[in-house]
Amino acid sequence: MAEFTMELNEEQREVRDWLHGFAADVIRPAAAEWDEREETPWPVIQEAAKVGIYSLDFYAQQYFDPTGLGIPMAMEELFWGDAGIALSIVGTGLAAVGVLANGTEEQIGTWIPQMYGDANDVKVAAFCSSEPDAGSDVASMRTRAVYDEAKDEWVLNGTKTWATNGGIAGVHVVVAVVDPDLGSKGHASFIVPPNTPGLSQGQKFKKHGIRASHTAEVVLEDVRIPGSCLLGGKEKLDERLARARERAKAGGERVKNAAMATFEASRPAVGAMAVGTARAAYEVALDYAKTREQFGRPIIDNQGVAFQLADMRTSVDAARLLVWRASWMAINGRPFTAAEGSQSKLFASETAKKVTAQAIQILGGNGYTREYPVERMHRDAAIYTIFEGTSEVQRLVIARTLSGMPIR
């Protein structure tokens, strides 16, 4: 087990500096353009693939870093560059986590490489869980998966929403209900291979922020997939459902569902994204305060501005600490006895919203215009308190964990 440390080792520092250079030289110069276009920045994703950032190998190296700091470090640097473009680069990772968390070794080896493609033929993947009437309330999910035993096929029907890369992805990972009587315990995750008939893109959303990231509905109409596309396999699913039915009869302890497992694994990473955006806004505000003069002196000499910057830096550093702690605990198998994963996501996302708003205030009228990036950063930051569990849901998870109440 790796000891928790605040110091990155030499290899981690090299990776951090490499990512920071890519964010500064490639992502940031393109950020405003793709935000305005509201389109997937394929050229930037391809550049990331060419240098090895958008790849299975890079993702795996960071994911399996024994310190747990590989993923949060990478997310912070990329999202420091720009949240919308960064999400387009890392969005495939959520689908990959879904396969890693629930799939067999054969499924991991077969499908994750197809999610990324290669530098000459870049692909993206989508994780599809939320529905029009089932966001945080996963127990209300309606998308059904019915097993056709004669053909060894699963038939999927339903509509997913808020899917990053939804409809434009090659591989879609879809969470569906296999036993409606078990509520959230009756869910399973499925791979929908590229070009499968019956899967189509619904409406593409025009968003407040992260506009360079494609977000859309995914419609499933009699989508037939091989039995081998059930993540984890049929035998494992049947055993899990049997245990859930026994617990339900006995009124026993609840078990985690596939979607919840994926979200729990990714929440500290979302916190790291928020840290990157918050840090970027803080740095812009700090530089501006040092050079902007009013009444014959830099505005940082004004105590009101200086104190804001002090609070901003403190909040960013505190958020990073919570994210790193949760990431270290997760990779080392330490249980989240106080919902440390949700704590990190809650505090970091709220910090991003507050710090980006403070940055606009420090820049004054300039901060409110698109001539300066803090306006975009503030719009982007709003998503962190919403996706992969709202701040209210994080507080509920934390409170229920502390009280010993079941988490549904």
Give catalytic residues, as residue numbers.
Answer: 388
Q: Which two tokens stand for residue 401?
A: 């964990």
**Cβ proximity of 81 and 31 under 8 Å:** yes
Measured between alpha carbons, how far is 120 from 42 in angstroms, rounded to an integer? 12
Q: Which two tokens stand for residue 125?
A: 């993947």
Measured between alpha carbons, how far is 61 from 94 in angstroms, rounded to an integer? 16
Tell me the backbone φ, ψ of residue 369, rounded to 5 degrees: -100, 165
Closest CA to 406 of 200, 265, 268, 252: 252
Other beta carbons within 10 angstroms of residue 198's beta carbon come to 15
Measured between alpha carbons, how far is 121 from 115 in angstroms, rounded to an integer? 11
343 CB-near residues (< 8 Å, 6+ apart): 322, 326, 394, 398
DSSP 135-194: SS-GGG---EEEEETTTTEEEEEEEEEEEETTTT-SEEEEEEES-GGGGGGGEEEEEE-T
Beta bridge partners of 52: none
Question: Which whole-number Å values give the CA distances from 330 to 39, 276, 335, in the listed order?
Answer: 34, 20, 7
Q: How does strand 171-177 pair with strand 125-128?
A: parallel
Half-sphere exposure of 239 (CA within 13 A, CB side): 5
380 CB-near residues (< 8 Å, 6+ apart): 82, 83, 84, 209, 210, 277, 356
Q: Which two tokens stand for residue 47?
A: 């550049």
